[in-house]
Amino acid sequence: MADQKRTTCPYCGVGCGVLVTKQEDGSVQIKGDPDHPANFGKLCSKGSALGETLGLENRLLEPKIEGQTVKMDEALNVVAQRFKETAEKYGPDSVAFYVSGQLLSEDYYVANKLIKGFIGTANIDTNSRLCMSSSVVGHKRAFGSDTVPQTYEDLEKADLVVLVGSNLAWCHPVLFQRLKAAQKERGTKVVVIDPRRTATCEIADLHLAVKPGYDVLLFNGLLNYLAQNGAQDSVYVDNHIEGCEQAVAMAAEQASDYQVLARQCDIALADLMTFYDWFLKTEKTLSMYSQGVNQSSQGSDKVNSILNCHLYTGRIGKEGCGPLSVTGQPNAMGGREVGGLANMLAAHMDFTPEAISRVKTFWDSPTIAGKPGHKAVDMFEAVHKGEIKAIWIMATNPAVSLPDANRVRKALETCEFVVVSDCVQNTDTMAYANVVLPAATWGERNGTVTNTERCISRQHSFKELPGEALPDWKIITRVAQKMGFEKAFSYETSYDVFAEHVALSAYENEGTRDFDLSSWQGLSREEFDAIEPIKWPINNNPKDRFFADGKFYTASGKANMLAVDLKAPKHTPTAKYPYVLNTGRIRDQWHTMTRSGLSPRLSSHLHEPYLDIHPDTALKEGLKKQDLVKVESKWGEAILRVKTCDTVKPGELFMPMHWNDENSAHAVVGRLVNPVTDPFSGQPESKHTPVNVSKFQPD
Ligand code: SF4
């Protein structure tokens, strides 16, 4: 149909296909794409409300310098000049880009190329650092590569699905619908491991409300139980695994007394043993995990403790069994592909001497970053210290979402030069910008995204660019040209960027890396436009399931089991801050609500910021339902509405992460959250901040 476009939803990492049909009155009809393998026509509340968020209210349409509207060319000149001067005067590490899982792969690619290959620093990180970087580390340590072994189809083939730190029902609703349907059809057992009794527990056969931070112990106990009950796949372990003995020994040392373990994890012993027994006896077990695992000072170890149990039993890379990390954002995976993280180079390559030389030659770079840069939290700390003097923030709102947001704001306040490019105006972060640049939004962008199951899909534009807005790749390209890199940044369309990205992924690859787009080399523009959703490996490779042959991307070709030891969160409750604050998403909002907040329908679900608090805790603190409560941590405070409920345990609290200065200045989540990060992944501990609460008394 001529007036119909196939694209994908810009919200969560499920990456649902969307059909957009233009109506005669100029409006558009939004429907799920029945042919997209992520959703087969389904959409959740957020996806189906996309049509309500397409208006121009709240759009940033013109660039501004120090609050004054200017022409795009003038703004880009200033950005190029200031970044060039800063890098020349203070060295390349004095500049940084902080980007987003909202960007398309082509945007990510150009940003990464400019800063790493032409400015010469790896100070580029993404808000996906907050969502899945612990999984990246876990994968690399176990598999030698950041490869997601399983796909969504495995949800429907599994007999047991273990959801760890994942409120699938609210955060990845279409996957939840798929699981629910599979459960109805084949009786799939579902175990939910989460300190809270979330909406996902509606379909749980068993809910383990684990003590926050104790997942490693829980999975070490499982590994020990599997070892005690002869569940080792000896042939598989002998041929394909290293480190098994040490991992099992650590598990035995730490977790052999299940009674003690159950007490430590705050789980009933019978429930714990039921979970262990189900896992032991169910070959087709899929373990899905998300931010509850990743957002922790021990996130990477938590991931490896889960992977250990699958490697030990040989349950990986097979139909219906294996680990599946679920990403939060629509293109978190695309960012991993192009290297849009401070610790990756490009095309899924690390900072090895061979890769650096390979990429430098390919890009014909005058200079190239030789080592990883600052990860998100450290990046803003370097801004705070004055080491980073110019930062460009693209499509994200760190003044709300980063931990210790008050310090982030101070850092931005004192930074010499701050650029923010975004599709919306007046974000909390923009208040600190010297230059703001209007970027394209969903419906105006053309390119590719990759979802949780590493399925690459096309996003197609169906709307004209309003005002002076441009796609992010184009804004960066024009800045790069103005910095003097015209030849290397001569892209005219997103297809040109995509073609180069394909060629780099194939360059000296020869199947030795998991990410290889070589079969797309030479693709025409028309073929690019017609790309159907496709999962890696996209080549005509008989190995259509990663790791099915027991071969991994480590030097030995074997996977690693890691001996992981429980480490308590760095900040534990004290007399002054006696409660543990957990944070997360709600069903109908996305990130800091800059787009989803435009839909009245979505805003009616939960219309104000709140604090989930157990009735016993509320009683102890003299709070009752609907009161306003002040929540205070060592880092900041928030004012929230009390919601008494037994979905959180006594002593534990939960607040949503979405509200911002514009719609509720006293409920900015980042102001409360502690800035501790996982030492390997740099992912913040957003699910565990000690706080106190008191009834809010307005002056
Ligand atoms: Fe969009 Fe995620 Fe909902 Fe799918 S599940 S429609 S990708 S928000």
Overall average pLDDT of the 618-642 stretch? 95
Same domain, 288 and 149: yes
What pLDDT was estimated at residue 663? 66
Tell me the CB-side half-sphere exposure of residue 129, using CA atoms within 13 A.
Answer: 34
Q: What b-and-e string marks burial along 511-535, b requiring 16 or more CB atoms within 10 Å of the CB?
A: eebbbbbbebeebeeeebeebebeb
- Distance, in Å, from the CA atom of 495 to the CA atom of 447, rounded to the nearest integer, reads 7
Nearest CA to ligand 1 atom 2: 12
Lowest mean pLDDT among 72-76, 144-148, 574-578: 144-148
Which CATH number covers residue 83?
3.40.50.740
Angle of helix 376-384 relative to helix 405-414, nearest 10 degrees, comes to 50
Same domain, 156 and 8: no
Q: Decide if 160 contacts 193 (C-beta within 8 A).
A: no
Strand partners, 418: 391
Same domain, 137 and 207: yes
* 520 occurs within a structural domain: no
What pLDDT was estimated at residue 658? 78
Q: Residue 539: pLDDT band by 50, 70, 90 thresholds?
A: low
The DSSP output letter for 439 is B
Helix (H) or strand (E) holding 453: none
* 535 occurs within a structural domain: no
What pLDDT was estimated at residue 549? 87
- Distance, in Å, from the CA atom of 329 to the CA atom of 120, rounded to the nearest integer, reads 28
Same domain, 206 and 322: yes
Same domain, 168 and 313: yes
Calculated CA dihedral for residues 421, 422, 423, 425, nearest 10 degrees: -100
Overall average pLDDT of the 618-637 stretch? 95
Quick one: which atom of ligand 1 is closest to the CA of 45? 3
**Six token digits for residue 341:** 């993280």
What pLDDT was estimated at residue 665? 64
Same domain, 121 and 146: no
Which CATH number covers residue 165?
3.40.228.10
What pLDDT was estimated at residue 1? 47
Same domain, 673 and 586: yes
* 512 occurs within a structural domain: no
Q: Decide if 489 contacts 482 (C-beta within 8 A).
A: no
Domain end position, chosen among 527, 560, 593: 560
* 281 occurs within a structural domain: yes
> How many Cβ atoms are within 10 Å of 78's Cβ, its own excluded?
20
> How many Cβ atoms are within 10 Å of 442's Cβ, its own excluded?
23
- Distance, in Å, from the CA atom of 524 to the CA atom of 345, rounded to the nearest integer, reads 27
Overall average pLDDT of the 554-558 stretch? 96
Closest C-alpha among 618, 670, 607 to residue 644: 618
pTM of the model: 0.95
The DSSP output letter for 677 is B
Same domain, 237 and 341: no
What pLDDT was estimated at residue 664? 67
Is the minimum distance from the CB of 332 to ligand 1 under 6 angstroms?
Answer: no
* 541 occurs within a structural domain: no
**Six token digits for residue 263:** 């007490």
Give, for ligand 1, the residue of 39, 102, 168 to mutate: max count of ligand atoms closer than 8 Å to Cβ.
39
User: Is residue 340 exposed (0-12), middle (13-18) or buried (19+ Cβ within 10 Å)?
Assistant: buried
Overall average pLDDT of the 359-388 stretch? 97
Q: Which residue has the tokens 């001529």?
A: 2
* 456 occurs within a structural domain: no
Is the minimum distance from the CB of 137 to ligand 1 under 6 angstroms?
Answer: no
Is the minimum distance from the CB of 13 to ligand 1 under 6 angstroms?
Answer: no
> How many Cβ atoms are within 10 Å of 687's Cβ, its own excluded?
25
Helix (H) or strand (E) holding 8: strand 4-8
Q: Which residue has the tokens 């394209």?
A: 440
Q: Are strands 95-99 and 455-459 parallel, antiparallel or unpaired?
A: unpaired
* 389 occurs within a structural domain: yes
Same domain, 374 and 398: yes
Percentage of residues in the chain with pLDDT exceeding 90? 83
The DSSP output letter for 492 is -
Which CATH number covers residue 9?
2.20.25.90
Which amino acid makes up residue 113?
A: K
Which CATH number covers residue 685?
2.40.40.20
585 or 112, which is more confident: 112
Same domain, 140 and 70: no
Number of domains in the chain: 4
Q: What residue numbers bound the domain in which 34 lies?
A: 4-53
* 366 occurs within a structural domain: yes
- Distance, in Å, from the CA atom of 113 to the CA atom of 346, rounded to the nearest integer, reads 8
Same domain, 68 and 34: no
Is the minimum distance from the CB of 424 to ligand 1 under 6 angstroms?
Answer: no
Is the minimum distance from the CB of 303 to ligand 1 under 6 angstroms?
Answer: no
Q: What b-and-e string marks burial along 622-646, b requiring 16 or more CB atoms within 10 Å of the CB?
A: ebeeebebbbbbebbbbbbbbbbbe
Same domain, 100 and 146: no
Nearest CA to ligand 1 atom 4: 16
